[in-house]
């Protein structure tokens, strides 16, 4: 199960907080599928990628309630937390920087907080995609803004790289993905 975090709706479509959705869309494009099947509180699509069955997920609960959709789908599909990868934006990484991670804290990310709370565990794999940190203290407004044209071009390239990394995660595990795709700051 590959879950991209974001906020549903046209209002949020191009915001920094939606890079997780963008990654899911890029995987779907490569697999020639659409993530448009409504299951519970998410849009999903099942496909095969290099012979492995994958479930692509875009929660439709808004970021702060992402855990509700994830828990519901884990139960519905009888998947295990070990089979979960959550793709999300990260303020503490420069725009476009990738970082795979095994478990850990939430770093103040409300989507991750919701997932940890609903699953009662933080032992799931993540792929963080840097969105940079604002120079002003209003983080909420910052994550809901669009990237500059230059940043967006860099993000688009890194989303391609993120998809390559997820393919490695799927076939070889989190350690290989971390070793091959994590960038030093």
- 163: domain range? 2-181
Distance CA 127, CA 104 (A): 12
Q: What is the DSSP string of 28-86?
A: HHHHT----EEETTEEEEEEEETTEEEEEEEE-S-GGGHHHHHHHHHHHHT--GGG-EE
Q: What pLDDT, on a 0 to 100 scale, did the predictor assign at position 142? A: 85
| Residue 17 designated active-site | yes
Q: How many domains does the chain have?
A: 1
Among the options 17, 88, 109, 136, which is catalytic? Answer: 17
Low-confidence residues in the chain, pLDDT < 50: none
Q: Which two tokens stand for residue 73?
A: 């789908």
Distance CA 78, CA 93 (A): 33
pTM over 0.85: yes
CB contact at 8 A, 79 and 71:
no
Please report the sign of the dihedral spanned by the C-alpha atoms of residue 49, residue 125, residue 86, residue 89.
Answer: negative
Q: What pLDDT, on a 0 to 100 scale, did the predictor assign at position 184? A: 66
Q: What pLDDT, on a 0 to 100 scale, did the predictor assign at position 145? A: 84
CATH number (domain holding residue 65): 3.40.50.1470
């Amino acid at each position: 199960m590959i879950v991209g975090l974001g906020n549903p709706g046209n209002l949020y479509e191009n915001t920094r907080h939606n890079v997780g959705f963008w990654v899911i869309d890029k995987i779907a494009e490569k697999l020639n599928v659409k993530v448009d099947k409504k299951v519970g509180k998410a849009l999903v699509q099942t496909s095969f990628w290099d012979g492995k069955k994958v479930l692509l997920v875009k929660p439709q609960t808004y970021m702060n309630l992402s855990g509700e959709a994830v828990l519901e789908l884990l139960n519905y599909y009888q998947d295990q937390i070990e089979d979960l990868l959550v793709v999300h934006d990260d303020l503490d990484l420069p725009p476009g920087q990738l970082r795979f991670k095994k478990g850990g804290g939430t770093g103040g990310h409300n989507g991750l907080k919701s997932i940890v709370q609903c699953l009662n565990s933080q032992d799931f794999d993540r792929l963080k995609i840097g969105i940079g940190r604002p120079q002003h203290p209003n983080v909420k407004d910052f994550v809901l803004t669009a990237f500059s044209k230059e940043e967006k071009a860099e993000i688009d390239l890194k989303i391609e790289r993120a998809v390559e990394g997820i393919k490695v995660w799927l076939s070889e595990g989190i350690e290989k993905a971390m070793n091959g795709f994590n960038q030093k700051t």
